[in-house]
């Protein structure tokens, strides 16, 4: 599959990487339909030191669930989902207080060794914590075709071009 990889400042490439798959029983495999560019994707664009292996990019995406692990209960194959920049397990003390970005077993897409969302697909860790965009829209072509942009508060939203 293809994914966006930054190798250093100004050096961003689309590369072939191993296919994404369900790894943990709490994972959902999401085929990415639209990925966002976050401000934190852009920070290293001017400053990142060169790396032979590069860093997979992308924090937020919208996609369609292709497979789910055995412990996933609230998502089904075919669901359209929103992947926020952070993933969480939905079960720890912080998740129960709606502090998902502080999840003990969570993390952030596209940071460190955690692959980014600017790829054809990716496992989205965290039991049942993706947001469904509506169970009535279960086909891949049901994802809006208009571009997505970043809001000032760090959330992603769709916007239609005028004219």
Between 52 and 88, residue with greater pLDDT: 52
**How confident is the model at residue 50, as a pLDDT?**
96
* Residue 8 covered by a domain: no
Asked whether residue 134 carries a pLDDT value surpassing 50, the answer given is no
Range of the domain at 63: 18-37+57-133
Reported as a single tens digit per residue, the pLDDT across 77-114 is 998 888 877 777 777 898 888 887 888 878 887 776 67
Asked whether residue 151 carries a pLDDT value surpassing 70, the answer given is no
* Residue 75 covered by a domain: yes
Specify the number of domains making up the chain: 1
Full-prediction pTM beyond 0.75?
Answer: no
Closest CA to 125 of 89, 101, 93: 89
> CATH number for the domain including 114?
3.90.180.10
Reported as a single tens digit per residue, the pLDDT across 24-41 is 888 888 899 888 887 777
- d(CA 117, CA 9) in angstroms, rounded, equals 19
């Amino acid at each position: 599959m293809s994914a966006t990889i930054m190798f250093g400042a100004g050096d961003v490439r689309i590369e072939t990487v191993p296919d994404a798959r369900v790894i943990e029983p709490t994972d959902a495999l999401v085929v990415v339909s639209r990925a966002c560019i976050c401000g934190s994707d852009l920070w290293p664009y001017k400053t990142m030191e060169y790396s032979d292996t590069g860093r997979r990019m992308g924090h937020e995406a919208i996609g369609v669930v292709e497979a789910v692990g055995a412990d996933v209960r609230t998502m089904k194959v075919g669901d359209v989902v929103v992947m926020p920049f952070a993933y969480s397990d939905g079960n720890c003390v912080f998740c129960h207080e709606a502090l998902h970005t502080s999840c003990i077993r969570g993390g952030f897409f596209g940071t460190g060794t955690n692959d980014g969302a600017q790829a054809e697909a990716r496992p989205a860790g965290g039991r049942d914590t993706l947001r469904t965009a509506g169970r009535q829209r279960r086909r891949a072509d049901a994802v809006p075709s208009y571009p997505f942009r970043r809001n000032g508060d760090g959330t992603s939203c769709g916007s239609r071009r005028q004219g």
